[in-house]
Chain A
């Protein structure tokens, strides 16, 4: 009896807490609209770019709303999620298939509240971050999109399994996980810092990829930017942690990475991050890049749970030069080495300098220091490319001719040689990645 009473009490408490939480969520004020200089265009906005175009780039709308090889913003790009495939919508001003008939209210609601014309959006659309944007900024983006030529291109039907195909279900998800709040500047910090926070959060939505998600597919706030796996790739720890994050990166390295996709002596952006730099970050002004750096430097250091420590002076690389791998290199996979010396060494070189192009340098890269080889496998299978200032840098994929065994061998070799790590890549894992999403 006593137990039942107790249990009943517990249930009552849970219900009360839940109701209170929901009420809080529903009743909590969204906060005041962010204003310039924190919101809005960059202070040093170039003359040839409109505020709307700049913000559209900063919010990286194009990356998702453009199909591979398709017309920018015409949508159709598939996103393979664990529970099905959803497609990005057409953002061109076509009246039938795009946003031509959308009111300002409807557009703002879609961006900030995740409620679209057909009901709730799935949080693949980062309204959970965009919610912090100012209404003015969103309307500037809308104005820019409306200035584009309309493209009549219907968005393919999402193919989601039950119950995920029930859009109304997202209302409950939102209740549980969505906090509709505008960006609030921290008065203790500089304008630059606040601008950086606005760029990284509401606009750039870095956390959507770089923050681990909980069981409900929501960002874990206590692990903000601590790194996780996304679409089969690695979004690395970008907290200020000096061992696992970017704490020991120099400003030059951060600037290089953000503005052109390569941090000298560190990583080159590849896969999805290459797209972020290509579509979005390379267009940010110097002032905004500095603001981002100022903000990122202050993000609470977190170790994260899939962390990678980078060895910038691995023994094998130290023993190597551009031409030869060095006699005292550690014992490495002979098959992997054979593949590397044939197909890779010519460009990357044995000491990982990548003399032809800085993008080919491997030294200090997170990908070659991650024993799981997550990103490495993807790059080897599918290649990666990045276009900066109209020049494309490309690593070709080898998935067409390398067997799973071959990819595993060369990945483990590269991890040993360039990261001093014992790679754990297996052929089975490569097979799984091969079948998985391309990103």
Chain B
């Protein structure tokens, strides 16, 4: 498979395989299938590689005749740097230079199941989420690469009739020091392919790392293609004869099409067909207009005259939901965590801090609106997608089509952001695209169909971070020590839960909190009254619990005359990792030295927040300027992070910068329902942080030899609370509801 020189697709090598190529490659496929641990579901895909790749010792590593290494990523590259991290691990253990390594996305296949998510879900799933990629790949990918290296070294040892242990490898060349003999990997591939796969391989000692942890990091493998327009996202993918579909969703959630007059749409030159997509309990459905050109399809959608049946539609708005949740917040809920005995009242001289916090639904609003390309041909379905939920989406597509999962191939493309949106337990937009393709086929349309959502569709087609109402109550003694914390969280659960079960994600960060609290009770209500579809958004439950916990801690510190840093410190005696991160951020931010006043009556202050999420500890200190008109800007952010071994410090810094920016936007964002419809539509009413609100960053990584944990999400949770704490310190107001807006009351 020759790489197309002008279009860079991260699934390169897995696509473009015709039926004929597949059959022609069967011979190779058979040999290869033997060497793979399980399944031939995607032997067809790998078969094509067998010809070009002389050496494929496992599902993750392939080496071609020129000695170039291809790493197969079971994870989606959506910006978080996973491809680069995997390439780094592989290059490290293989002892090849980074420039010889490229990364492709894997097809959907349980051989690529995510080991951490498997533990969470209790069944194998292939998906990207929970900042698990590096943690999951840390052993898996290194072992895969070390195995390949060992086989190549063994091949050289056999050739020279020497002990493998007497050989070393530098930049893909095996060297026998004693004799001075040298041989490149590319000349050993055929020999190595004949050797048995070693059972146990020795991984490198961290002392020998030359790429992992290198201060400047290894350069991202996807960056060149992302600076010249050649990186191919789903939005860019084309197949011969492909049609683009733009869909009209019900204006009220879960409304259904009653009737449609498509005559005007069909009269538009270029409109090929109008297809009704039946909605169900997982997708909204609607009416799609198909054309060769996106604009034409969009014009066609505008010309549809649809009568909607709202009898089953959501009819309420956010106010009604909030009101119901407020009531629940006053009632005992399902206990998620309980230790000690809650105090009802403060002891003599003590303090009670109690507040109700409200946070809205949030949209992911990735830069690339959701889309999915489906090529349905006979008994085969090829899906091209920025795929974050591989096996789930594959099963969903198979179910809709009445196929076995093997008949559905998923081709990985770059995702233009996702933030969790493309990993969806309902497989919503993939289902919609496949249902559309099936319906279109039934209407006689034989063409690949790419469903594309306009920005407004993306903003309004549901799947949001849940709205929550939280009631939190702290009791402190006369010395300001936190004795008791009662925290009740009301929100829809992220996944369907059995009645009475605890949704750990909804209460994460509260249930297993960073701080020592002798008496703690965390409860939750997971009402199912309002059928607004919810899904995880970058950092999941921490998006809402961090704001409540970290701002209330500051409120308690202010009320008891304590320094927020020292107050936190006093509760981290049993959490040395978090304490070290907190101390580092305080030191690097000069926490103990107040900021100088700004010009023209501006006030300036620091705010801090700390949160362990997905195994990684992050603390931000935000330096905030409050202008006299109430508008505010974050000037500088100091961050400390402990994520175990820092595989790629530069990617870690990038994720802290980006994570802060993503979380900062929470201060201004909210999705609001009115009478069953989403009010927001685009970036004019769903603002995101822009260049001129960008602070300077100073990121400090705690040296660690622990196994790595993720960095894609943990920068998000402490961002908004750090800024809110700085503002609260200046205005004296505690902020209990988001969004705050771009300006606050100054006194």
> Looking across the interface, which residue of chain B has its beta carbon closest to that of A400?
B685
Interface status of A334 (Cβ within 8 A of chain B): yes
Interface status of B741 (Cβ within 8 A of chain A): yes
Q: Is the CB of B685 within 8 A of A398?
A: yes
- At the interface with chain B, which of A193-201, A335-343, A414-422? A335-343
> Which residues of B236-279 have CB atoms within 8 Å of chain A's CB atoms?
none
Q: Is the CB of A405 within 8 A of B690?
A: no
Question: Within 8 Å CB of B742, what residues of A?
Answer: 339, 401-403, 406
Q: Report how far A250 CA is from B686 CA in the complex, Å.
A: 40
Question: Within 8 Å CB of B199, what residues of A?
Answer: none
Q: Which of B627, B629, B693, B741 contacts A401 (CB 8 A)?
A: B741
> Looking across the interface, which residue of chain A has its beta carbon closest to that of B600?
A334
Q: Which of B631, B684, B741 contacts A343 (CB 8 A)?
A: B684
Q: Is the CB of B684 within 8 A of A335?
A: no
Q: Is the CB of B631 within 8 A of A335?
A: yes
Q: Report how far A398 CA is from B680 CA in the complex, Å.
A: 11
Question: Within 8 Å CB of A409, what residues of B?
Answer: 629, 631
> Which residues of B191-228 have CB atoms within 8 Å of chain A's CB atoms?
none
Query: What DSSP secondary structure best describes chain B's contact surface?
Result: loop
Q: Which of A342, A398, A400, A405 contacts B743 (CB 8 A)?
A: A405
Q: Report how far A29 CA is from B486 CA in the complex, Å.
A: 84
Interface status of B705 (Cβ within 8 A of chain A): no
> Which residues of A335-381 have CB atoms within 8 Å of chain B's CB atoms?
335, 338-339, 341-343
Q: Is the CB of B684 within 8 A of A398?
A: yes
Q: Which of B680, B683, B742 has the most CB of A within 10 A?
A: B742
Q: Report how far A406 CA is from B630 CA in the complex, Å.
A: 9
Q: Report how far A293 CA is from B616 CA in the complex, Å.
A: 70
Q: Is the CB of B741 within 8 A of A403?
A: yes
Interface status of B733 (Cβ within 8 A of chain A): no
Q: Which of A341, A402, A403 contacts B692 (CB 8 A)?
A: A341
Interface status of A437 (Cβ within 8 A of chain B): no
Interface status of A265 (Cβ within 8 A of chain B): no
Nearest Cβ in chain B — how far from A391, in angstroms? 10
Q: What 1/0 flags go to A381-409 for Cβ under 8 Å of B?
A: 00100000000000011101111011001
Question: Within 8 Å CB of B681, what residues of A?
Answer: 396
Q: Is the CB of A335 within 8 A of B685?
A: no
Question: Within 8 Å CB of B739, what residues of A?
Answer: 401
Q: What 1/0 flags go to A282-321 for Cβ under 8 Å of B?
A: 0000000000000000000000000000000000000000
Nearest Cβ in chain B — how far from A408, in angstroms? 9
Q: Is the CB of A406 within 8 A of B682?
A: no
> Which residues of B679-707 have CB atoms within 8 Å of chain A's CB atoms?
679-687, 690-693
Q: Which of A334, A342, A398, A406 has the most CB of B within 10 A?
A: A342
Question: Within 8 Å CB of A334, what residues of B?
Answer: 627
Q: Which of A341, A397, A405, A406 contacts B685 (CB 8 A)?
A: A397
Interface status of B668 (Cβ within 8 A of chain A): yes
> Looking across the interface, which residue of chain A has its beta carbon closest to that of B633?
A338
Nearest Cβ in chain B — how far from A278, in angstroms? 15
Q: Report how far A338 CA is from B690 CA in the complex, Å.
A: 10
Question: Within 8 Å CB of A402, what residues of B?
Answer: 742
Q: Report how far A402 CA is from B684 CA in the complex, Å.
A: 9
Q: Report how far A409 CA is from B741 CA in the complex, Å.
A: 14
Q: Is the CB of A396 within 8 A of B631?
A: no
Question: Within 8 Å CB of B631, what residues of A?
Answer: 335, 338, 405-406, 409
Q: Is the CB of A403 within 8 A of B685?
A: no
Q: Which of B681, B684, B686 has the most CB of A within 10 A?
A: B684
Nearest Cβ in chain A — how far from B299, in angstroms? 9
Q: Which of A338, A341, A401 contacts B687 (CB 8 A)?
A: A401
Q: Is the CB of A400 within 8 A of B679?
A: yes
Q: Is the CB of A405 within 8 A of B687?
A: no
Task: Count contacts on B: residues with CB < 8 A to the other chain.
Answer: 23
Question: Within 8 Å CB of A406, what residues of B?
Answer: 631, 741-743
Q: Report how far A154 CA is from B280 CA in the complex, Å.
A: 35
Nearest Cβ in chain A — how far from B35, in angstroms? 54
Query: What DSSP secondary structure best describes chain A's contact surface?
Result: helix
Q: A396-B685, A398-B685, A401-B687 known; A338 and B743 CB under 8 Å?
A: no
Q: Report how far A162 CA is from B462 CA in the complex, Å.
A: 46
Question: Within 8 Å CB of B684, what residues of A?
Answer: 343, 383, 396-398, 400-401
Q: Report how far A335 CA is from B690 CA in the complex, Å.
A: 14
Q: Report how far A405 CA is from B740 CA in the complex, Å.
A: 13
> Looking across the interface, which residue of chain B has its beta carbon closest to that of A338?
B692
> Looking across the interface, which residue of chain A has its beta carbon closest to that of B739?
A401
Q: Report how far A409 CA is from B630 CA in the complex, Å.
A: 11
Question: Within 8 Å CB of A398, what residues of B?
Answer: 684-685
Question: Within 8 Å CB of B741, what residues of A?
Answer: 401, 403, 406
Q: Report how far A383 CA is from B684 CA in the complex, Å.
A: 10
Nearest Cβ in chain A — how far from B726, in angstroms? 18
Q: Report how far A400 CA is from B692 CA in the complex, Å.
A: 21
> Looking across the interface, which residue of chain A has its beta carbon closest to that of B686?
A401
Q: Report how far A396 CA is from B456 CA in the complex, Å.
A: 12
> Which residues of B660-677 have CB atoms within 8 Å of chain A's CB atoms?
668
Q: Report how far A334 CA is from B693 CA in the complex, Å.
A: 13
Q: Report how far A401 CA is from B360 CA in the complex, Å.
A: 14
Q: A335-B627, A405-B629 known; A342 and B685 CB under 8 Å?
A: no
Q: Report how far A342 CA is from B630 CA in the complex, Å.
A: 18
Q: What 1/0 flags go to A178-194 for Cβ under 8 Å of B?
A: 00000000000000000
> Looking across the interface, which residue of chain A has its beta carbon closest to that of B628?
A335
Q: Is the CB of B690 within 8 A of A342?
A: yes
Q: Is the CB of A400 within 8 A of B630?
A: no
Nearest Cβ in chain B — how far from A354, in angstroms? 16
Q: Is the CB of B693 within 8 A of A403?
A: no
Q: Which of B668, B679, B685 has the most CB of A within 10 A?
A: B685
Q: Report how far A58 CA is from B739 CA in the complex, Å.
A: 46
Question: Within 8 Å CB of B627, what residues of A?
Answer: 334-335
Nearest Cβ in chain B — how far from A74, in angstroms? 15
Q: Report how far A338 CA is from B742 CA in the complex, Å.
A: 11
Q: What 1/0 flags go to B494-529 for Cβ under 8 Å of A?
A: 000000000000000000000000000000000000
Q: Report how far A193 CA is from B685 CA in the complex, Å.
A: 46
Question: Within 8 Å CB of A383, what residues of B?
Answer: 684
Q: A334-B627, A401-B687, A403-B741 known; A342 and B692 CB under 8 Å?
A: yes
Nearest Cβ in chain B — how far from A404, in angstroms? 9
Q: What 1/0 flags go to B617-657 for Cβ under 8 Å of A?
A: 00000000001011101000000000000000000000000
Q: Is the CB of B630 within 8 A of A405?
A: yes
Nearest Cβ in chain B — how far from A377, in angstroms? 16
Q: Is the CB of B682 within 8 A of A342?
A: no
Q: Report how far A400 CA is from B741 CA in the complex, Å.
A: 10
Q: Report how far A242 CA is from B682 CA in the complex, Å.
A: 41
Q: Is the CB of A396 within 8 A of B682?
A: yes
Nearest Cβ in chain A — how far from B627, in angstroms? 6
Nearest Cβ in chain A — how far from B714, in angstroms? 27
Question: Within 8 Å CB of A341, what residues of B?
Answer: 692
> Which residues of B716-747 have CB atoms within 8 Å of chain A's CB atoms?
739, 741-743
Q: Report how far A342 CA is from B688 CA in the complex, Å.
A: 10
Q: Report how far A161 CA is from B354 CA in the complex, Å.
A: 46
> Looking across the interface, which residue of chain B has its beta carbon closest to that of A402?
B742
Q: Report how far A341 CA is from B633 CA in the complex, Å.
A: 15
Nearest Cβ in chain B — how far from A111, in angstroms? 31
> Which residues of A255-296 have CB atoms within 8 Å of chain B's CB atoms?
none
Residues of B within 8 A of A (CB): 627, 629-631, 633, 668, 679-687, 690-693, 739, 741-743
Of the A-B pairs whose beta carbons lie under 8 Å apart in the complex, a sample of 29, sorted by A's number, is: A335-B631, A338-B631, A338-B692, A338-B693, A339-B742, A342-B693, A343-B687, A396-B684, A396-B685, A397-B684, A398-B684, A398-B685, A400-B679, A400-B685, A401-B668, A401-B686, A401-B739, A401-B741, A401-B742, A403-B741, A405-B629, A405-B630, A405-B631, A405-B743, A406-B631, A406-B741, A406-B742, A406-B743, A409-B631
Contacts A338-B693, A341-B692 known; 12 new A-B pairs at CB < 8 A: A335-B627, A338-B631, A338-B633, A338-B692, A339-B742, A342-B690, A400-B685, A401-B685, A401-B739, A403-B741, A405-B631, A406-B742
For the complex of A and B, list the 7 residue pairs with the smallest distance between their C-beta atoms, beginning with the closest: A396-B684, A400-B685, A342-B690, A335-B631, A405-B743, A403-B741, A401-B687
